[in-house]
Amino acid sequence: MRKKNPWVAAVLNLILPGIGFAYLGSATLIVSGVVLFISSIVVDIIYLKYTVGMAQRPSFQIFSILGGLSLAIITFAVTKIFNKTIQPKGEQESLQK
């Protein structure tokens, strides 16, 4: 498995929550990314249904931006940890022999 770019994962998660985890390719992270994506959609639907007009407030927009940025930072850190667990290509071949 190849190392992944942490910046790409962070930007993907900033655009669509959970997609940055799926980019990493690990089965566990793909499942967690899908769960995160679905849960963010459900939370948005519930929020919009019960708080009509509140999405226009600056406090909601600031909270949304900070939430997205924090998720991008978490994804960046997870990608760095993920890359440390990947063995270089030469080591993988020597272990298989």
Mean pLDDT computed over every residue of the chain: 80
> Has residue 7 got a pLDDT over 70?
yes
Residues spanned by the domain of 50? 6-84
Domain assignment present for residue 92? The answer is no
How many structural domains compose the chain? 1
Q: Given pLDDT bands bounded at 50, 70 and 90, which one contains residue 37?
A: confident
> Has residue 77 got a pLDDT over 80?
yes
Query: What number of helices (H) and strands (E) belong to the chain?
Result: 5, 0
Ramachandran angles phi, psi of 8, nearest 5°: -65, -45
**Residue 44: per-residue pLDDT:** 76
Domain assignment present for residue 90? The answer is no
Domain assignment present for residue 89? The answer is no
Domain assignment present for residue 79? The answer is yes
**Higher model confidence: residue 95 or residue 23?**
23
